[in-house]
Amino acid sequence: MKNLTLLFIFLMSAIITTAQVPSTRSKGKDVFKSFPAMKHAKSKIISEKKMPKIDTEKLLKEDLVTEGFDVPFRFGYGFDVNYSLNDGTWEEQDSVRIWSLKIASPGAYSLNFIFDKLHLIPGAELYIFNTDNSMVYGPVTEKQNIESGTFLTDLIAGDEVIIQLSEPVNSSAESDLEISRVVHAYKNTFSSDVGISAASSVYTCYNAIGAYPAWLNQSDAVALVIINKVRDFAPAHY
């Protein structure tokens, strides 16, 4: 239990930092209209990393073993990776240099990422968006820099996303990032309306806060905690 407590405190410190980064979704696939200042890479050639196929049926059977126990709900399988700025594609556009990396994990309902290192220079912006242009996470800026460098992202709907970093081209400093984990969601945590799927039984007992306008202020205190890995239980691919 002590290990769990320490892990929870550590993750909460990272989540509090990342909680200031918004995620924007659009059914009409025009989500980028909300980001008029966002620079897009013009090159059609972008470096891509593709995750291996996972055995979803096996994972679901494993989840049945822990059903009813006091363990965190598992929605995804984590791949350990080691991606840095050396793995993406750079290009210059107007007054910025843009780095892009496409990550695909076929069949995933969503993807999210854990950075072992993230340090952004002044003026830099990091965005993560899916390839059907229906969801954008960001901007992540220097305000999210923390001493440890650890950074956890939100869940991005879809099985293909692009991670994009833009920096002022005239800056002598450079940002730094290292992605250590890619999480493939094999359970659908999204619905077309409110973002939490009724298909995931763990959520079916909860009501959507958006249906209660009188609780608008209180809704700011509602949060979903995403745990990276709980070593005290097996299996543990979060």
Q: Report the 3 state secondary structure along 142-167.
A: HHHCCCCCCEECCCEECCEEEEEEEE
Regarding pTM above 0.85, the answer is: no
Q: How confident is the model at residue 195 (pLDDT cuts 50, 70, 90)?
A: very low
Domain-located, residue 96: yes
Domain-located, residue 204: no
Domain-located, residue 61: yes
User: How many domains does the structure of the chain reveal?
Assistant: 1
Task: Provide mean pLDDT across the span 171-189.
Answer: 94
**What local confidence, expressed as pLDDT, does residue 210 receive?**
56
Q: How confident is the model at residue 3 (pLDDT cuts 50, 70, 90)?
A: very low
**What local confidence, expressed as pLDDT, does residue 223 receive?**
54
Q: Taking all residues of the chain, what is their mean pLDDT, rounded to a whole number?
A: 79
Domain-located, residue 197: no
Domain-located, residue 95: yes
Domain-located, residue 208: no
Task: Provide mean pLDDT across the span 200-228.
Answer: 56
Contacts of 22 (CB under 8 A, 6+ apart): 137, 138
Q: Label residue 190 left, alpha or beta by phi (over 0 means left) and psi (-120 to 50 means alpha).
A: beta
Domain of residue 167: give its range.
2-190
